[in-house]
Amino acid sequence: MSKINTGSALILGFFIAIGLAALGYQLSNAAVQVKQFERSVTVKGLSERELGSDIVLWPIQFSAASNDLEELYNLIDHNTLKIRNFLIKNGISADEISFSSPAITDRSAQQWGSNDQAKFRYTAMQTVTVYSTKIETVRAVMGKLSDLGKQGIVFTAGDYESQTEYIYNSLNKIKPEMIEEATRQAREVAQKFAKDSDSKLGKIKKASQGQFSISPRDRNNPHIKKIRVVSTVEYYLSD
């Protein structure tokens, strides 16, 4: 009886082993097929443009000083009017010019016990701002500003508030074209990779569009903007 049970057990074990081997083969084959299906390549496509700015924001900052407060305000008004007339004469519209309230400093209140006597008690800082779409006209006027300096107006520069800003405001007009170009370039790179690796390029598995960046082309031409975007695309590959 025991011999019969032992033989049956051996036969059963044999078939179980065969079954496990077949199952292992099938699972292994399926894993290989899945792995092949998930083969992919990730590529990047770049699109760049160099375009002129749409808007210029030009703060013209000047200072004045006096020991008499009323005289100081009159001097500020006089110089502000002189700058305004100069700008209009050189092609800038009146509605493109704005004025800030002057910042007045009483230097005698800032000495804090110092024996040094300031030459002028009151100093003022005034800003005339040009906001215009006429980029070249404004840049031409910038080169003539020294003419006003020769008339006694003391211009200040160097701080953040007095820096000229050039703005590109038409990004939405070129976005679709640039995204299309970046995606097309990414596909060309993927196709070359597939060809070099003896593979076929499949459908897009995943894609992401990078942020658009806008920066001056160079330090000497801040009004010309370099616009770029990078698209990242992952494609399926097959044999």
Domains 40-52+169-239 and 55-167 share a fold: no
Round the average pLDDT of the chain to a whole number and report it: 84
Q: What is the mean pLDDT of residues 1-9?
A: 54
User: In sequence order, what are the residues at sequence separation of 6 or more whose Cβ sits closer than 8 angstroms to the Cβ of residue 63?
Assistant: 123, 124, 125, 126, 154, 156
DSSP notation for 140-205: HHHTTTHHHHTTT-EEE-SSGGG--EEE---HHHHHHHHHHHHHHHHHHHHHHHHHHTT-EEEEEE
pLDDT mean over 204-228: 92
Q: Any residues with CB less than 8 A from the CB of 121 and at least 6 apart, and which?
A: 66, 67, 106, 107, 108
Q: Lowest-pLDDT range, 9-13, 58-62, 212-216?
A: 9-13
Give the end-to-end CA distance of the chain in Å, rounded to a whole number.
58
- The dihedral sign for the CA sequence 196, 198, 200, 204: negative
187 confidence band (pLDDT: 50, 70, 90): very high
Which CATH superfamily does the domain covering 40-52+169-239 fall into? Protein of unknown function (DUF541), domain 1 (3.30.110.170)
Where in the chain are the domains? 1-38, 40-52+169-239, 55-167
Which segment, 45-54, 193-202, 206-215, is predicted with the most confidence on average? 45-54
Strand 200-209, strand 40-52: pairing:
unpaired
Residue 83 has pLDDT above 70, yes or no: yes
Contact 219, 239 (CB under 8 A): no
Phi/psi at 222 (5° precision): -70, -15
| Predicted confidence (pLDDT) at residue 71 exceeds the cutoff of 50 | yes
State what percent of residues in the chain have pLDDT above 70: 78
What average pLDDT does the segment 57-69 reach? 94
Superfamily of domain 55-167: Protein of unknown function (DUF541), domain 2 (3.30.70.2970)
